[in-house]
Amino acid sequence: MIPTYDLNLLVSLDTLLTENSVSRAAERLGLSNSAMSRILSRIRETFGDPILVRAGRSLVPTPRAMALHETVRHVLEGAEALRMTPKAPNLKQINRLFSIRANEGFIFQYGGKLIEAISREAPGIRLRFAIKAEKKPNMLRDGQIDLDIGVLGESGPEIRIQTIQRDNFIGVVRADHPLRSLKTISV
C-alpha cells in the first residue's frame, strides 16, 4: 500500500521550524495553541522524529528537523510556483539559436517572413533551418532541432504536436487519361 501524507503538514512544519515556537506558529497560521500542538503531534508521527524538543524554556529543532527544513521550504516554493501564472517572456531579452526542420516548400513560403518577424520582435533570436529528409522525430527527440514542421510519422508522448496548417492536394492528368473519370481519390 502506498503511504499517504497530509501535505498541509508541510506548511505547519515550515512555520514551526521558522518560529521555533508552537504559540507563534499557531498565531501565524491563525490556529489555537492546542490545534497547533495536535498538528505537531501528527508531524512527529509522520516523520518519526520529535522535530522540536525542549531546551530550557524554548524549543529547538532536532537534527532531523533541521535537515528537513530546507527540503520542506523547496517543496512549498515549488507548490506555490505551480499556482502562479507564468509571465510571458520578454522576447527582446532572449538570445538563442533555434533550429527548425521543415520541407523546402515551407521554408521557401514562410522562412523569410518568419525571419523578418523574429528580427523585429526578438532581435537576439537566430533561426537555422534544416531540410526535412525524413518523418521520424529522432532529431527532435535527441535535441538536435527545436521545432519540426511537417507531417510527422510515429512519435511519443514526450513530443507535443499542434496543427498549424492543412494542405489540399490536386492531381492533374492529360485529357484522355483513365483517371479522369474518377471524381475523388481517397488517400
pLDDT reported for residue 172: 84
Question: What is the number of domains present in the chain?
Answer: 2
Q: Is position 109 within any domain?
A: yes
User: Does the pLDDT value for residue 187 go beyond 70?
Assistant: no
The pLDDT mean for the chain works out to 88
Domain co-membership, 176 together with 92: yes
Last residue of a domain, one of 35, 63, 83: 83
Q: Mind listing the pLDDT tens digit for each residue in 124-133?
A: 999 999 988 7
User: Does the pLDDT value for residue 67 go beyond 80?
Assistant: yes
Domain co-membership, 158 together with 92: yes
Give the structural domain span for 99: 88-187
pTM of the entire structure? 0.48
> For the residues of 7-75, what is the DSSP string, one character each?
THHHHHHHHHHHH--HHHHHHHHT--HHHHHHHHHHHHHHHTS--EEEETTEEEE-HHHHHHHHHHHHH
CATH number assigned to the domain comprising residue 107: 3.40.190.10
Residue that has been written with the C-alpha cell 492533374 in this structure: 172
Q: Mind listing the pLDDT tens digit for each residue in 147-157?
A: 999 876 677 77
pLDDT reported for residue 135: 79
Residues linked to residue 50 through DSSP beta bridges, in sequence order: none
The CA distance from 172 to 32, in Å, is: 82
Cell of 16: 514551526
